[in-house]
Homo-oligomer: A and B are copies of this chain.
Amino acid sequence: MLLSALLTSVGINLGLCFLFFTLYSILRKQPGNIFVYAPRLIDKQKSEQQTDDLFNLERLLPSASWVRNAWQLTEEELLSISGLDALVFIRIFIFSLKVFAFGGIIGICVLLPVNYLGSQLSIDDFYDLPNKSLDSFSISNVNSGSKWLWIHFCAAYIFTGVVCYLLYSEYSYISSKRISCFYSSKPQPHQFTILVRGIPKLSGRSFSEVVETFFTENHPSTYLSNSVIHQTSKIQGLINDTEKLYRRLARIKSENRPQPKIRREGFLGLFGRKVNLFDHYEKKLEDLEDNVRMEQHSLSGEEVPAAFVSFKSRFGAAVALHIQQGVNPTEWVTERAPEPQDVHWPFFSASFIRRWIYMLVAIAAFIAVTIVFFIPVVIAQGLANLEQLETWFPFLKGILSLTVVSQLITGYLPSLILKLFLLLMPPVMILLSSMQGYISHSQIEKSACIKMLFFTIWNIFFATVLSGSALYQVNVFLEPKKIPSVLAEAVPSQASFFISYVVTSGWTSLSSELFRLIPLVCSYIRRLCCARRDDDEFEVPELQYYTEIPSILFFGLLGVTYFFLAPLILPFLLIYFCLGYIIFRNQLLNVYAPKYETSGKYWPIVHNSTIFSLILMHVIAIGLFGIKDLPLASSLTIPLPVLTLIFNEYCRKRFRPIFNGYPSECLVKRDKEDQNEPNMAEFYDKLVTAYRDPALAPVQLGRNVDSHSAPLLHEQV
């Protein structure tokens, strides 16, 4: 790739970004788009909305006020509106900006000139910049055995040191935030509760009795209550039907027609006796509600050997959580309880061994999906070529013979298919993770995030770099001795691809995140088809960390590995992270609202991913110095990954436990503060019912459309 081509691409993409930004700054001011661009502010603004409907000129002028708003948001505000997870998410950008600002200075001021002064590749005109290949700016251009390579060697050491220092201070900062958030939090049900699985079956006694006996025996001073989990997927289905029907009824009611709607009783409402639609639905609803009540009553016997056990203090819950309870470690397995609204109810029935097998199967499936991902993609791309399309859809022949169309198809169809398959992946990962038997949505998403990260690194980085069949890639990793030299050959040669990947894929994904094209289109279609439905089914979206974090970390990986290979990538990455910082702050302020909280548990993933990137860079450096006839530098680089791993191990010891639970010092302190709290008795009352399965709550559609009463507790307390 030539420098001029890169600059053209940069220009086009910058233009596109500005176009998106302008459009956004106009569209967000249109009151109709408030559901798309500011759903989390809806409650606040509902009153103003009506007055805003008036047309004024300012609404059509682009403005940068959103940038100012996003910039001015302080960390405390962010923490209060979106929780610690959002803060951690923004800290990823801040951390990356620090890393690549430092890396960029060294890379552009020191490494780039050194690379450019080499003569391994180019013997053509030194000053003919536009026609220079991008490779002239990469380490490939430095002559073999050149003493200049020691500069790269030093840069690798210094960069690693700085990144490790930043990693340490960031980990330390986020752990202190986590503790201070805990101190400032109100009493919440999940702090007082654990989940117990593998309750042993005693003949003639219900699980609830067994749990009661066991915990009053072993934790007499702290045990409060338990709620055994029931198999409720059938009831849940019935309740969903009921709710749907109720909503339809409510809509009919709200339409307030003078003459009642009438339809026939039979198939599809076409045959049979004519009935009043309202009466018909009301009767059906009553039937369904009766059904639900009957099922709820009869099902209370079908208990699952798992229960949420609540304690009178946080410390009591932690004690029961951390100490093995039963003699058999596969019974009385304790686990931290998620927030009530975070519970993933369907998976409680599986036994210890079954869950474990599910987990193994899920991991095996994940590995299989990751390794053979390219096979269906290649097949689909093969099927979607020009001739095939002409055979399948002969009527398209005329259009396909146009040069523009055929170029578009051959040029964009394969990458479109790849994009579509890639878009399929996050849901697939969520599916695999939920098979693993996690009990909360947040755990599932965290696990999916790790899976997506592996998947991205494997299928975008290694697949591009090694550019062979899946089996060839696997083979490389079965011969560990060859890895450095293979990578050192392959990685630098893909530098220009990844630079343009940052510019095209990175920048575009950010501006489309801001513009929210798909929700925008959906919202227009909905408004065209069925006006006024928005209010009913409207839900504030949540930021999908498991799709965003892996892609951001992947750009970080590119930056770290290419830092000394092709420093030209760094300015583009810096722009990416700056844009991301502003855009995501804006989105967190206006669009997304958190449903549940992991309290910063995503940070260890970021830390580990960065360590992996560093090690990958070191391995490439070892191979590269070997290839460039500098065996001494190659050997002297070996301590670098070892030191990095030791640093990582130290961080794991120093910070990781803070992310797994809270220390007794904090727990006891909070418990003591609670003793002076006047409304703790009320809180305990609510705690007893906090973890009731929503499917077993009494049906009260008449008063409250949403029968999930448990999730509301969180805000009430």
Contact = CB atoms under 8 A, between A and B. Distances in A.
A400 to B, nearest CB: 47
A327 interface: yes
B481 A480 contact: no
A655 B329 contact: yes
Contacts of A322: 319, 322-323
A323 B329 contact: no
Secondary structure dominating the interface of A = helix
A356 B218 contact: no
A3 interface: no
Interface in A344-372: 353, 356, 360
A656 to B, nearest CB: 8
Nearest to A330: B654
Given A478-B480, A480-B480, A665 B356 contact: no
A257 interface: no
Interface string A649-660: 010011111100
Nearest to A477: B480
A663 B200 CA distance: 15
Interface string A106-137: 00000000000000000000000000000000
Contact of A653 (B329, B480, B657, B667): B329
A479 interface: yes
A323 B663 contact: yes
A318 interface: yes
A325 interface: yes
Contacts of A666: 327
A451 B217 CA distance: 43
Interface string A6-28: 00000000000000000000000
Given A478-B480, A479-B481, A325 B360 contact: no
A363 to B, nearest CB: 12
A664 interface: yes
Contacts of A389: none
A329 B178 CA distance: 14
Interface in A591-641: none
Contacts of A210: none
Given A481-B478, A481-B479, A650-B356, A327 B218 contact: no
Given A478-B481, A479-B479, A650-B356, A665 B319 contact: no
Contacts of A328: 654
A374 to B, nearest CB: 23
A547 B214 CA distance: 44
Interface centre among A214, A328, A480, A667 (most CB of B within 10 A): A328
Contacts of A325: 663-665
Nearest to A334: B664
Given A218-B668, A479-B479, A668-B218, A327 B179 contact: yes
A324 interface: yes
Interface in A302-323: 318-320, 322-323
Contacts of A668: 217-218
A326 interface: yes
A661 interface: yes
Contacts of A262: none
Interface string A464-480: 00000000000000111
22 contacts: A218-B664, A319-B323, A319-B664, A320-B664, A322-B322, A322-B323, A323-B667, A324-B658, A325-B663, A326-B663, A327-B666, A328-B654, A329-B654, A329-B655, A329-B656, A329-B658, A329-B663, A330-B653, A356-B650, A360-B646, A479-B481, A480-B480
Q: Across chains A and B, which 10 residue pairs bring their CB atoms closest together, nearest first?
A: A329-B657, A322-B322, A324-B663, A323-B664, A218-B668, A478-B481, A319-B319, A324-B657, A322-B323, A218-B664
Given A179-B327, A324-B663, 9 more contacts: A217-B668, A218-B664, A323-B663, A324-B658, A325-B664, A326-B663, A328-B654, A329-B653, A332-B665
